[in-house]
């Protein structure tokens, strides 16, 4: 059994981790921390976990985190890097769902997240936790930077097109038009996510610059094998609780006009358990992935022209966060990658 600790178990990604790990046949939950709720039984805060999670929240300093095999950080940015060295010294593996170990450029991290990086040596060994790209490195990793939700949809939607270098599409003029449910903003109380503000409303944000942009570009450059990546990324807030839909636009190069892009995607993801390439002409919706670790992709070429339109949907809390983190844990400990993650999406 894998002994698991969770730092920051009271947010939406924290409770999603608890939901998934409580059903995992190879996991023993050992600690769930929260300064504010220390001493409260987890099931009192989250009645959905009654009879499944018997632990109470504990103070971070008193939690037996160094006795765990792996610790998940479902916390604000900056928390994981403050505890990483102590945990690694104790032989504990780390999966951070925040941004502490995503951006390899500390200057970029400090610019976008407004804090100094306190353990650049740990950052150097951290592996970006997108299994469909970095599976082999994840298996050998001690530290995982779990991808952001938007970056997961953008990267997996573009991956088959850019891993061929500059042969298929114009990589300088990529567009990602992305929409997320309100849970993506976290559980904290803010005016913009109040029901009266977010309901019956639809808006863009972060148009002049969003912290997920450098993460996406960093990884696209790595996959493409060149730095010639130009991306316009515009996120939107949709009045629903969970779910994410990203529409990607890429211009086909003249030499690639005869490419069967549907088959290209189908071949690339044929053996990926959590990526579903849908039949040609499909229009995937967010409820088709609700509460599941599944990401669905549909490939379109309107009027047979030179513009590709790629539709990508996922649950932002599962494949976009907690589910992907559990997927990474399975790989790190040599388990079947799908273990504990085969839940069927919830309808309606």
Active site residues per annotation: 149
Walk across the sheet containing 295-300 and list its strands: 203-204, 231-237, 174-180, 244-251, 307-314, 295-300, 275-277
Half-sphere exposure of 129 (CA within 13 A, CB side): 35
**DSSP 3-state of 307:** strand
185: Cα within 13 Å, side-chain hemisphere = 22
Name the one residue in this structure whose structure tokens are 């804090």. Answer: 115
**Structural tokens at position 198:** 């977010």
Tell me whether residue 57 is exposed, middle or buried, using C-beta atoms within 10 angstroms of its C-beta: 0 to 12, 13 to 18, 19 or more. buried
DSSP symbols for 263-311: HHHHHHTTT-TTEEEPPTT----GGGGTTSS-EEEEEE-GGG-SEEEEE
Give kind and range of the element (H or E) at residue 244. strand 244-251
């Amino acid at each position: 059994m894998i002994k698991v600790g969770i730092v920051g178990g009271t947010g939406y990604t924290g409770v999603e981790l608890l939901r998934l790990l409580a059903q995992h046949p190879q996991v023993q939950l050992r600690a769930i921390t929260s300064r504010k709720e220390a001493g409260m039984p987890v099931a009192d805060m989250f009645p959905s976990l009654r009879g499944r999670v018997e632990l109470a929240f504990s103070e971070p300093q008193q939690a037996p985190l160094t006795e765990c095999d792996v610790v998940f950080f479902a916390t604000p940015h900056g928390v994981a890097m403050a505890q990483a060295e102590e945990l690694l010294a104790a032989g504990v593996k780390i999966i951070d769902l925040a941004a502490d170990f995503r951006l390899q450029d500390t200057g970029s991290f400090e610019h976008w997240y407004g804090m100094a990086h306190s353990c650049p040596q740990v950052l150097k060994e951290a592996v970006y936790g997108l299994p469909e790209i970095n599976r082999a490195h994840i298996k050998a990793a001690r530290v995982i930077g779990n991808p952001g939700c938007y970056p997961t949809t953008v990267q997996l939607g573009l991956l088959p097109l850019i891993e061929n270098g500059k042969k298929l599409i114009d990589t300088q003029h990529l567009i990602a038009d992305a929409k997320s449910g309100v849970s993506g903003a976290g559980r904290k109380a803010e005016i913009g996510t109040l029901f009266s503000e977010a309901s019956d409303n639809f808006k863009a944000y972060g148009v002049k610059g969003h912290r997920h942009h450098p993460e996406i570009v960093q990884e696209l450059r790595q996959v493409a094998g060149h730095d010639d990546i130009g991306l316009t990324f515009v996120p939107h807030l949709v009045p629903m609780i969970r779910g994410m839909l990203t529409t990607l636009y890429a211009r086909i190069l003249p030499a690639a006009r005869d490419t069967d892009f549907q088959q290209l995607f189908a071949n690339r993801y044929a053996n990926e358990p959590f990526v579903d390439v849908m039949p040609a002409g499909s229009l995937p919706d967010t409820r088709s992935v609700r509460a599941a670790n599944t990401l669905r992709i549909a490939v379109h070429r309107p009027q047979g022209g030179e513009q590709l339109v790629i539709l990508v949907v996922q649950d932002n809390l599962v494949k976009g966060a907690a589910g992907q983190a559990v997927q990474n844990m399975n790989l790190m400990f040599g388990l079947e990658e799908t273990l504990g993650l085969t839940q069927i999406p919830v309808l309606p």
